[in-house]
Amino acid sequence: MPFERTIMITGGAGFIGSHVVRLFVNKYPQYRIINLDKLTYAGNLANLKDVEDKPNYKFIKADICDYEEIKKIISTNNVTGVIHLAAESHVDRSIVDPFTFARTNVMGTLSLLQAAREYWEPSGWSACRFYHISTDEVYGALELTRPEGDPQASECGGGPFGDDFFTETTRYQPHSPYSAAKASSDHFVRAYHDTYGMPTVVTNCSNNYGPYQFPEKLIPLFINNIRHRKPLPVYGKGENVRDWLYVEDHARAIDLIFHEGKVGETYNIGGFNEWKNIDLIKVLIKTADRLLGRPEGADDDLITFVTDRKGHDMRYAIDSTKLNEELGWTPSLQFEEGIEKTVRWYLENQDWLDNVTSGDYLRYYERMYKL
Ligand code: NAD
Ligand code: TYD
């Protein structure tokens, strides 16, 4: 049976991308799903073992910066939808290597836009869509006007740590090389809509957590360290606030917006779930210790305050009212449930973590796919 359409998901071997690929491959057997990924250190095809043999799934190893190659892939596969997640994604790496972030996130996005435009524009953009996945970090940082946190504040329309939120009209004010590169890529996507009429949509999401996240990011790194009783490096005083969303809820939002989001629009995605780092870390320790059968408080001494990240944004908080009111999206998981699932997953998938931390996954898939 021929496929209804072909959708190319970039960065599908990464953390969020692998959840999006899995959801699309399983939910839409009528679509052919191409996972296009360069397989950097952050890309791991083991994240997609359960779908790699499905007839509607195809993996292509390619670099989004390789314009000629991407053009060929889009035209030979008749790609009419792009869901673009490929990026360098870790703030700490961007501080030591900003050029790589500009190359992938800015030039890579531009080359993808131009390659899609060359193929789609002659057809009058018929049934095409370019969906760009971005981050709340482009909006900069909010203040901590309630440093101790007030869970009741939401009743008055505020967040526990401050009254303001990032909305779709908040001015861009990125601080890190990562967020500056993502902001630039967002501008290019909107420019392609405004200039050429490309049917684009952009979303800006808060911090994601869940299975298959590379253990350089806070939650998987700390779970792995707790398991091995290694120090937990808390930047500064641990007072920074992040707004956390379970990754499968993000993937569900992407599915909804890809199909029903209005062309040219931006949607913020978040679960109104702000946590001060140090409080979140205490929840991680408590949950991991319980699941590991260790006495409560056994690993509290692992908390180690270290030099703060350069330019560390104080608070992120997303207002996702537009997405809720226009498309009816709400997060499905309570944070307590999501954290329990996540800690349990990393503890039960120690092989995955060992493989990733040792770098063995890179060599295994190089051999398997003769890359
Ligand atoms: P990730 O680092 O886990 O995965 C990135 C993927 O992109 C990897 O598979 C990598 O191999 C691939 N990639 C990198 N450079 C490439 C290139 N030049 N060509 C092709 N593929 C390349 O990232 P993630 O956390 O899954 O984030 C995915 C997207 O979502 C990013 O655009 C990120 O900015 C955005 N985002 C992430 C979060 C979060 O909390 N992780 C929140 C909001 C938005
Ligand atoms: P991270 O997971 O890197 O996401 P982001 O910087 O995109 O928000 O970090 C989440 C928060 O945790 C951020 O405030 C930085 C802090 N953090 C630490 O305190 N120690 C660490 O080792 C890491 C990786 C992060």
Mean pLDDT of 293-314: 96
Question: Residue 287: in which H helix or E strand, if any?
Answer: helix 277-292
Portion of the chain with pLDDT greater than 70, in percent = 97
Mean pLDDT, the chain, as a whole number? 95
Specify whether the CB–CB gap between 270 and 206 falls below 8 A. Answer: yes
Spatial separation of the C-alpha atoms in residues 345 and 219, rounded to whole Å: 12
Phi, psi of 181 (to 5 degrees): -70, -40
**Ligand 1 pocket by C-beta < 6 Å: which residues?**
10-11, 13-17, 37-40, 42-43, 63-65, 85-89, 104, 108, 133, 135, 182, 205, 207-208, 214
* Ligand 1, atom 18, residue with closest C-alpha: 63
Residue 71 lies in a domain: yes
Residue 293 lies in a domain: no
Kindly indicate the confidence band of residue 272, based on its pLDDT and cuts at 50, 70 and 90: very high
Residue 131 lies in a domain: yes
Mean pLDDT of 207-234: 97
Say what the pLDDT of residue 357 is: 87
Q: Which residue from 204, 210, 273, 206 is spatially nearest to 247, judged by alpha carbons?
A: 210
Residues 129-180: tens digit of each pLDDT: 999 999 999 999 999 999 889 988 888 888 999 999 999 999 999 999 999 9
Q: Which residue has the higher pLDDT, 370 or 266?
A: 266
The reply to whether 178 belongs to the active site is yes
**How far does CA 26 lie from the centroid of its chain?**
20
**Ligand 1 center to residue 83 CA distance, Å?**
12
Q: Which residue from 238, 205, 225 is spatially nearest to 135, judged by alpha carbons?
A: 205
Q: Interior CA angle at 341 toward 338 and 346, to 5°? A: 125
Residues 79-131: tens digit of each pLDDT: 999 999 999 999 999 999 999 999 999 999 999 999 999 999 999 999 999 99
Spatial separation of the C-alpha atoms in residues 65 and 70, rounded to whole Å: 8
Number of helices (H), then strands (E), belonging to the chain: the values are: 13, 12
The reply to whether 279 belongs to the active site is no
Say what the pLDDT of residue 85 is: 99
pLDDT at 371 over 90: no
The reply to whether 248 belongs to the active site is no
pLDDT at 368 over 80: no
Say what the pLDDT of residue 1 is: 67
Q: Which residue has the tokens 């967002």?
A: 186
**Ligand 2 pocket by C-beta < 6 Å: which residues?**
91, 207, 217-218, 221, 233-235, 240, 242, 277, 309
Query: Domain residues for 18?
Result: 5-213+244-274+311-334
Domain CATH number, residue 129: 3.40.50.720
Residue 115 lies in a domain: yes
Say what the pLDDT of residue 168 is: 98
pLDDT at 228 over 70: yes
Catalytic residue among 63, 88, 136, 243: 136
Spatial separation of the C-alpha atoms in residues 307 and 254, rounded to whole Å: 36
Residues 6-25: tens digit of each pLDDT: 999 999 999 999 999 999 99
Residue 163 lies in a domain: yes
Q: Is 134 helix (H, G, I), strand (E, B) or coil?
A: strand
Q: What is the pTM of this model?
A: 0.97
> Residue 252: which residues within 8 A CB-CB, separation 6 or more?
23, 329, 332
Q: Which residue from 129, 252, 135 is spatially nearest to 201, judged by alpha carbons?
A: 129
Residue 18 lies in a domain: yes
64, 71, 78, 118, 236 from 196: Cα distances, Å:
21, 17, 20, 11, 45
Portion of the chain with pLDDT greater than 90, in percent = 92
Specify whether the CB–CB gap between 43 and 31 falls below 8 A. Answer: no
| Burial zone of 190 (CB within 10 Å; 0-12 exposed, 13-18 middle, 19+ buried) | middle
**Ligand 1 center to residue 209 CA distance, Å?**
13
Kindly indicate the confidence band of residue 363, based on its pLDDT and cuts at 50, 70 and 90: low
Q: Which residue has the tokens 């779930």?
A: 273
Residue 72 lies in a domain: yes
Spatial separation of the C-alpha atoms in residues 357 and 313, rounded to whole Å: 27
Residues 39-51: tens digit of each pLDDT: 999 999 999 999 9
Mean pLDDT of 321-344: 97
Mean pLDDT of 229-244: 97
* Closest atom of ligand 2 to CA, residue 316: 8
Spatial separation of the C-alpha atoms in residues 227 and 293, rounded to whole Å: 11
pLDDT at 358 over 90: no
Mean pLDDT of 271-287: 97
Say what the pLDDT of residue 155 is: 80
Specify whether the CB–CB gap between 296 and 226 falls below 8 A. Answer: no
Write out the E strands in the chain. Answer: 5-10, 31-37, 57-61, 79-84, 129-135, 200-205, 207-209, 232-235, 241-246, 266-269, 274-276, 303-306
Residue 266 lies in a domain: yes
pLDDT at 367 over 90: no
As for how many domains the chain has, the answer is: 1
Spatial separation of the C-alpha atoms in residues 280 and 226, rounded to whole Å: 14
Say what the pLDDT of residue 154 is: 83
Say what the pLDDT of residue 369 is: 54
